[in-house]
Amino acid sequence: MTSPRWRNDCSMRKALLADDKYFFVFVDEMPFYLSIRRNYGRAKRNSRVVVKIPSSGLLAPRTQVALAVNSSRGIIHAGMYPPKRAHAGGMRLILQTSWTKDDFESFMKDLLQAIFLQKKQLSFVLDSTREHGPERNMQDSWRGKHHELERYLSSTGGAIRIMKPPPNSPQLNLCEYYNRTIWSKANRIRNMPKFEAQLLGRFAHGDTLDGRIRALLEIIETAIGEAKGIVQSHSFVTLLGSFERVVAANGYLNWKDPM
C-alpha cells in the first residue's frame, strides 16, 4: 500500500526530470585499470617459460575518468586524468591518482562551456567526494567563478543548481549505468590485437609504464567514442525505478540541495 506522499513525490520527480525547463547533468568519476589475465601456451624446448602480462599492484597502469551524462543526450563531456609517479621510500615508486579538486573544477568549467542553454535550469547531480569540495563551501566554489555563464543564464531566465544524492547510492546517478557500458567496451577493445601488441610489446628503457598508460588512455578514448551519441533509454528507466524504490523505502528521496 503506497502513501499519497510517496505517489506525490514520485510524480514530482518524474515531472521534474521530464520538464523541458530543467536540464539535469549527472557527474561522476571512476578509476580505470588494465584487466590482468594470463596467457597460456607452450614454451620452446630448452627455453625459459615467460608469461607476458601487464604489471599489477601499485604500478598497474590506471587512470581516472570523469563523465557528464544527460538522460536525453547521453554522454555530454568526458575527461581522462592519468596518474603521476610518486616515491614510496627508497627506490620504490607507486602511481598516485591525479584527480584533484583543481581537476574537478577544470572539468566542470569545460562542461559548463559546452552546455550553454537558453532558459534552462541546469541541475548538476554530484556525490559528496573530497574532490568536489566540502558541502559548506559548495556555494562559494560555484558562484562568482563563472561570471560569463551566470550572466548568460540570468539574461535568458536560467540558473545553476547543485544536487547531492544520499551517500553510497550509485544507483541514483545516471553516470553509473554509462560507466558499465564504457567498462564493457574497454575490456573488448583491450583484447584487440592492436592494443595487445601495444600493452605487451617492447618499450624504450624507462618508458614501459608510460607506454602502457598511453595505450590505456587510447583504449578508454576509443570506448568513450563508441558510447557517445548513444542514449541509453533503458538506463534512464532503471534510474527512475531506483528513485521509486528509495522513496517507497524512506518516504522521500533525500536529495540535498546545497545551493
Query: Is residue 226 very low, low, confident or very high in pLDDT (cuts 50, 70, 90)?
Result: very high
3-state secondary structure of 75: strand
Q: What is the mean pLDDT of residues 126-155?
A: 60
Model pLDDT for residues 144-173, shown as the tens digit of each residue: 555 665 666 666 666 777 777 777 778 888
Residue 253 pLDDT: 59
Residue 259 falls inside a structural domain = no
Query: Is residue 224 very low, low, confident or very high in pLDDT (cuts 50, 70, 90)?
Result: very high
Q: pLDDT at residue 178 above 90?
A: yes
Short-list 6, 83, 72, 35, CA closest to 199: 35
Count CA within 13 A, CB hemisphere, residue 57: 5
User: 211 near 203, Cβ under 8 Å?
Assistant: yes
Residue 124 falls inside a structural domain = yes
Residue 219 falls inside a structural domain = yes
Model pLDDT for residues 19-75, shown as the tens digit of each residue: 566 788 888 888 887 655 555 556 667 766 555 545 545 456 678 888 999 888 899
Residue 258 pLDDT: 41
Residue 9 pLDDT: 45
Residue 258 falls inside a structural domain = no
Query: Is residue 257 very low, low, confident or very high in pLDDT (cuts 50, 70, 90)?
Result: very low
For the chain, how many structural domains are there in total?
A: 1
Residue 3 pLDDT: 46
Beta strands in 90-239 (DSSP E): 93-96, 121-125, 159-163
Residue 255 falls inside a structural domain = no
Spell 158-189 as b/e; 16+ CB within 10 A means b.
bebebbbbeeeeebbbbbbbbbebbbebbeeb
Residue 256 falls inside a structural domain = no
pTM comes to 0.70
CATH number of domain containing 143: 3.30.420
Task: State the cell numbers at 115.
Answer: 552546455
Residue 89 falls inside a structural domain = yes
Residue 185 pLDDT: 92
**Residues spanned by the domain of 59:** 4-250
Mean pLDDT of the chain: 71
Q: What is the mean pLDDT of residues 200-209?
A: 71
Q: What is the mean pLDDT of residues 221-229?
A: 91
